[in-house]
Amino acid sequence: MTPSELTYERFEGKEAAGKLDTFLEAYEEVYAEPPYGEGPSDIAEFIEHYQVHAQRDGMRLVLARDGDQVAGFTYGYLLPADSRWWANVQEELPEDFTREDGARTWVILELAVRKAWRRLGVAANLARPTPRRPGRRACHAHRPARA
């Protein structure tokens, strides 16, 4: 498998809400692995959160496909003006950096690639900026490195 053999599909707004079943199996597989170790209650929580996220401004879902299989996915949305996103950052950031206006920052909430398609550049392709991507900048949420 080479990355050029994969296809990428993009879904915007409410259309993305209806695609959860398309990539849920991939989510379950990836997040069952360490360091996540997610089980049924975590999956149920993800489903709830995704349905809320899918209603946000700037929602975008991108699927990487190998034939009829989902090899990976990513999704995110625009931070609203009243976002508390930056409040959990471990270091203090200047106010002009953390100020949101509802159109400034597009955040990647999830980005996952199934084991069989890792180390092929799939994650980089999923995260790559595309024309008309919402926001003037992007941010990717991830777990801090373990000490």
What pLDDT sits at residue 4? 61
Among candidates 102, 103, 110, 98, which has minimal Cα distance to 49? 110
What pLDDT sits at residue 133? 72
The beta-strand segments (E) located in 39-115 are: 60-66, 69-78, 105-113
Which phi and psi (to 5°) does residue 111 adopt? -150, 115
Ranges under pLDDT 70 in the chain:
1-4, 130-132, 143-147
What pLDDT sits at residue 114? 98
What's the CA gap between 16 and 53, in Å, rounded? Answer: 10
What's the CA gap between 44 and 84, in Å, rounded? Answer: 24
What pLDDT sits at residue 2? 59
Half-sphere exposure of 31 (CA within 13 A, CB side): 20
What pLDDT sits at residue 141? 75
Task: Please enumerate in sequence order all residues whose Cβ is within 8 A of that of 141, keeping only pairs 6 or more positions apart, or say none.
Answer: 107, 108, 109
The torsion angle over the Cα atoms of residues 54, 57, 58 and 59, rounded to 10 degrees, is: 0
What's the CA gap between 142 and 147, in Å, rounded? Answer: 15
What pLDDT sits at residue 39? 96
Among candidates 143, 140, 139, 132, which has minimal Cα distance to 13? 132
Task: Please enumerate in sequence order all residues whose Cβ is within 8 A of that of 52, keeping only pairs 6 or more positions apart, or say none.
Answer: none
